Structure formats: C-alpha cells, structure tokens
C-alpha cells in the first residue's frame, strides 16, 4: 500500500526521526543513563483482581462466558445487518512516528516475522531448546502457586527440568523464594521485579479518562480494576522484554490455581522446536465484547497500513467469519501458552503493540492480552505455525481441556472428566479453530458439545 505524505507531514516526520536518533544517542551516553521518567506511585488496587483475577469464583467466570456468547451472537447479527462497531482513530502521534521511521528508512520493518523466529529452530545445545516456565505472581498467591508448581513438576518437569522464572511488580519475600526453591529443587529458579515503566501509565495516557472508564465499566468483569489493566498491558507488550527472559527462545506460561490432568511424556519445547511451531494453546473462547469495543477496528487499521506484516495463508478465518470485516470474538486463552518468544520480539509484533498502546484501549477500555496475542498470531503467522495441544489435560477455573481420544486419556493417566472438556461447547472457539485449520473434528465431538 502506497503512503502519500504532504510536504508538511514529511517535514514533521523527518524532524521526529532526527529527534528520536538524538534521544537514542543521549540515552547511550554515560551522563544520561540514569534518566528518570514520571510514573504513578507503586500502589495498585488488588481488591477486585490482580495478576490472575483470583478474586472471582468459577460461577462468576462461567456467567461472564455465557454473557460473552450472547454478545458474540449479537455481534454476528450486527455483522449480518451491515452494522459496524464504533471505533476510535489510532493515536496520530504513534502513526506519525511509524510513518517517520518508514520515510527515513532507519528500521527494517518489512522482514517477515518468521525470519526472526527460524534461527531458534536450529538446535545448538545438544538439541535442548532454550526454554523456561514464566509466571506472573504476587507474594500472597504463594499457596495457589505451589499447587500449580506441584502439578507441572509431577506431570512434566521432574523429568525435563526446565528453568522457572517468577515475576512480580514488587520484590518477592524470602518466604516466597524459600518455598519455591523447596518445591523445585532440581531446576534453576529466577525471581525478577517488573520495571516500573512496564507497570504504570505511559505519559500519553489521560489518567482522568482512564479512571472514568473504570467507573463506567464497574459492572463488567474486571472492568473497575486498575491492576488488571496493568497486568494485561504487561502481558501484551512487556513480559518478553524482561532481562531474565533474554537467554530463552521458548516459554510456557503458568499461573496460580491451574491443574495438569495428564502426564506429558514428551518434551513439548523440543516438539515445538523440531516441528517448527510458534504458538501453542489448550483452550479457546469468545471474548467479552464490552471490554474491547474498538480493538478490532484499531487492529485492522494497523494491518491495512502495514500489509507487509500479514502472513500468507494465515489464520484469519479463526478470528473473523467475513475476511476481517468483523471480529467473531475468538481468542486463545492466554493463561496457558507454549510459544516462541521471538514472535513477540519481532518488529511486526512490536509495531502492532505500539499502535495499540498509543490508542489507549488497555486503559480507556479493558483490552486483554489474550485477544491481543490471538489477533496478532492469527494474522502475522502462517496458520501451520499455530498448534492446539489436544493431548494436554489442563484446567484454569472454570474450564477444562481434557483429551477426547480414549487412548491418549488412558496412556497418559489422565484424571479429568471428558464430559467437562470445553473444546466444542457453545462459547468455546474450538469449532472455529478446527474449521479454520481444515482439521477433522474428533468422531465423538458432538457428545461433548453440550
């Protein structure tokens, strides 16, 4: 797509480019290394939800899921009637910076995202992937975290012994660290504090408007929570930038209060690496429309302006039934992810996140990291790089992924109830995923769809 700039905008773009280069040079100078930005005090409201939304019951979450299904049906009806949702214009400053970079030619943003991922498919350390578990957790979630660790260790990591990384927006207590070391004696464990700039308001966000949004959304799940929004923004655009993850190519996201129902007898990281997969999930679901009214239009605006980031043979059919005109609200539930960190490190995803961040929807609405990750992965990756782990029995309140293949269920000593498998139930997106990938549904799938 050709981009035409007026002389005035071109002069502005060049000016911004020079200013950016100057700032980079100054920042690298020793006298400016310890610059300090203005942020909010490090105190957040955890009364409704924190990193994991632990304050809500399975019944509340299930009710929210049903509401999401109702909103999905309403959205489909609106799509059939030709009614498009309202959208805000992407922040002009972000677009100017992007245009400036393109005009100046200082960044190679046209490179295919897979070019940044393929080097990590090459095994250089005896075939063992550079992989870790990564967990965002609070000190007061220690008990629930220990339960998750015990499940993961028993079902998988006692054999494969991958590193664990724990992140928090405050320092971990010694009690927390000691207990974690006790539970994971044979793996490397690392504890990190999130940089303040990754868990606070950027200077282009109107905090008064953000506070008003929280008041208006008080009756929506997590709608009144400030900390939940910081968490979603962090998981969307910053967890993979933490220095503790610099040495890794792969991660498995683990949250408190999860369960693994089945033994995992193979190295999932090595399987992803050897089969050149990029993003793996277990549960897919419809999003709550009221939390993301402008996310889709903002995303489509970005990709229309940057068509070079759109992968050939992508998974658009999973997230849209009309080739991108409307969002069907489907996303991968990101509390479980086994994925390649270089997907998020790529210029394509960085530019996408930057556009979203400047649009303000993490604070002016309640954009979640799950739809953000899912929209990006479905568009910038070829669809054969995305994998559904149907063989991994997984629980995050209130939903289950339970293998429907009886042989897999038996051989892996699963203890989940197949009738509770969420994959083909009404407000799951399992059917959309199978159809978009051209996969044949299990012979008995209809038995588990109600």
Residue 64: pLDDT over 90: no
- pLDDT value of position 65: 54
**What average pLDDT does this structure show over 207-228?**
97
Least confident of 51-60, 92-101, 192-201: 92-101
Residue 227: pLDDT over 70: yes
Q: How confident is the model at residue 7 (pLDDT cuts 50, 70, 90)?
A: very low
Angle ∠(137,142,148) on CA atoms, nearest 5:
80
Task: Look at residue 134 and give its three-state secondary structure.
Answer: strand
Q: Percent of the chain beyond pLDDT 90?
A: 73
Which CATH code fits 58-448? 3.90.550.10
- Closest Cα to residue 198, out of 22, 372, 52, 40? 40
Least confident of 39-43, 389-393, 443-447: 39-43
Least confident of 33-42, 193-202, 273-282: 33-42
Q: How confident is the model at residue 77 (pLDDT cuts 50, 70, 90)?
A: low
**Cα distances (angstroms) measured from residue 7 to each of 10, 11, 13, 101:** 5, 6, 10, 16
Highest mean pLDDT among 67-76, 97-106, 293-302: 293-302
**Cα distances (angstroms) measured from residue 376 to each of 131, 276, 350, 383, 407:** 22, 18, 10, 12, 34
**What average pLDDT does this structure show over 80-85?**
46
Q: How confident is the model at residue 348 (pLDDT cuts 50, 70, 90)?
A: very high
Q: How confident is the model at residue 66 (pLDDT cuts 50, 70, 90)?
A: low
Q: pLDDT tens, 9-33?
A: 444 444 444 444 444 443 443 333 3
- pLDDT value of position 112: 85
- Rounded to the nearest 10 degrees, how much is the dihedral formed by the CA atoms of 402, 405, 410, 411? -110
**What average pLDDT does this structure show over 220-244?**
97
Cβ atoms within 10 A of the Cβ of 202, count? Answer: 14
Residue 408: pLDDT over 70: yes
- Is 337 among the residues known to form the active site? yes
**What average pLDDT does this structure show over 85-112?**
42
- Closest Cα to residue 234, out of 372, 124, 115? 372
Of the listed 69, 226, 337, 432, which one is catalytic? 337
Say which residues have a Cβ less than 8 Å from residue 409's Cβ, sequence separation at least 6: 262, 393, 402, 403, 418
**What average pLDDT does this structure show over 255-282?**
97
The continuous run of DSSP H or E covering 356 comes out as helix 347-359
Residue 377: pLDDT over 60: yes
């Amino acid at each position: 797509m050709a981009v035409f700039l007026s002389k005035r905008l071109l002069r502005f773009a060049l000016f911004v480019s020079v200013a950016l280069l100057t700032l980079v040079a100054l920042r690298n100078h020793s006298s400016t290394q310890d610059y300090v930005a203005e942020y909010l005090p490090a105190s957040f409201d955890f009364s409704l939800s924190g990193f994991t939304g632990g304050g809500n019951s399975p019944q509340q979450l299930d009710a929210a899921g049903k509401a999401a299904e109702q909103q999905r049906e309403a959205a489909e009806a609106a799509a059939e009637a030709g009614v498009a949702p309202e959208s805000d214009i992407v922040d002009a400053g972000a677009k100017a910076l992007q245009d400036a970079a393109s005009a100046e030619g200082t960044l190679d943003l046209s490179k295919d995202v897979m070019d940044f991922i393929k080097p990590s498919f090459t095994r250089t350390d005896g075939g063992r992937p550079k992989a870790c578990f990564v967990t965002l957790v609070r000190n007061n979630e220690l008990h629930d975290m220990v339960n998750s660790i015990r499940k993961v260790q028993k079902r998988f990591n006692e054999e494969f012994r991958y590193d664990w990384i724990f992140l928090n927006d405050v320092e971990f207590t010694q009690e927390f660290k000691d207990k974690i070391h006790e539970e994971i004696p044979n793996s490397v464990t690392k504890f990190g504090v999130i940089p303040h700039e990754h868990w606070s308001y950027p200077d282009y966000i109107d905090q008064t408007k953000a506070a008003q949004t929280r008041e208006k959304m008080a009756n929506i799940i997590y709608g009144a929570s400030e900390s939940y929004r910081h968490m979603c923004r962090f998981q969307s655009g910053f967890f993979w930038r933490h220095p503790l993850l610099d040495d890794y190519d792969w991660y498995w996201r683990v949250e408190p209060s999860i369960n693994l129902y089945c033994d995992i007898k193979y190295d999932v990281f090595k399987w992803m690496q050897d089969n050149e997969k990029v993003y793996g999930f277990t549960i897919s679901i419809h999003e709550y429309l009221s939390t993301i009214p402008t996310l889709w239009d903002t995303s489509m605006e970005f990709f229309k302006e940057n068509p070079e980031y759109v992968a050939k043979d992508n998974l658009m059919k999973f997230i849209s039934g009309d080739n991108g005109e409307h969002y069907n609200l489907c996303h991968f539930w990101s509390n479980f992810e086994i994925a390649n960190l270089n997907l998020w490190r790529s210029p394509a995803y960085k530019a996408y996140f930057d556009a979203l961040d400047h649009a303000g929807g993490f604070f002016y609405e309640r954009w979640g990291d799950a739809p953000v990750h899912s929209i990006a992965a479905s568009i910038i990756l070829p669809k054969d790089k995305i994998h559904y782990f149907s063989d991994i029995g997984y629980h995050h309140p209130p939903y289950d992924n339970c293998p429907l293949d009886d042989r897999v269920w038996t051989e892996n000593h699963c203890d989940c109830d197949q009738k509770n498998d969420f994959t083909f139930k009404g407000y799951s997106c399992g059917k959309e995923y199978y159809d978009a990938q051209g996969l044949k549904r299990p012979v008995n799938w209809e038995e588990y769809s109600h």
